[in-house]
Amino acid sequence: MNFRRITTLLGPVAAAVLLSLAVPASAQAAEGSLTIDATTYQDPADGCLNVGGPPAPRHFIANDTDTLVLLYADADCEGRPVHVVPPGDGDFTPFESVRIGLPS
């Protein structure tokens, strides 16, 4: 078997192994705390979180995680984000749901 044929066969296998190692890491929880109004979530899971409770004109959010948090005007993270809160930042703004991490 020649070298070119071996690399042609092993290339997709190597890519599949690397992909399988990278995918589980992207589905893990953010590290740190996320505070929304008076509730703090420690190491929140990636995904959408509805604020819940009675509608408020504005909510407080403090992102002390290691990932971006996207704010949405609608429940269930529908539509486009209306605001982005980077790690280590906070804001007092209107929103109804948040996405921890980037959407897939």
Is the pTM higher than 0.85? The answer reads: no
Q: Residue 29, Cα to own-chain centre: how many angstroms?
A: 8
Whether residue 34 contacts residue 64, with contact meaning beta carbons closer than 8 Å, is answered with yes
Whether residue 68 contacts residue 80, with contact meaning beta carbons closer than 8 Å, is answered with no
* 39-97 tens-digit pLDDT: 999 999 999 999 876 666 789 999 999 999 999 999 999 999 999 999 999 999 999 99
**Alpha-carbon gap, residue 91 to 84, rounded angstroms:** 10
Domains of the chain: 29-100 (2.60.20)
**CA-based R_g, the chain, Å:** 19
* 15-43 tens-digit pLDDT: 344 433 444 444 568 999 999 999 999 99
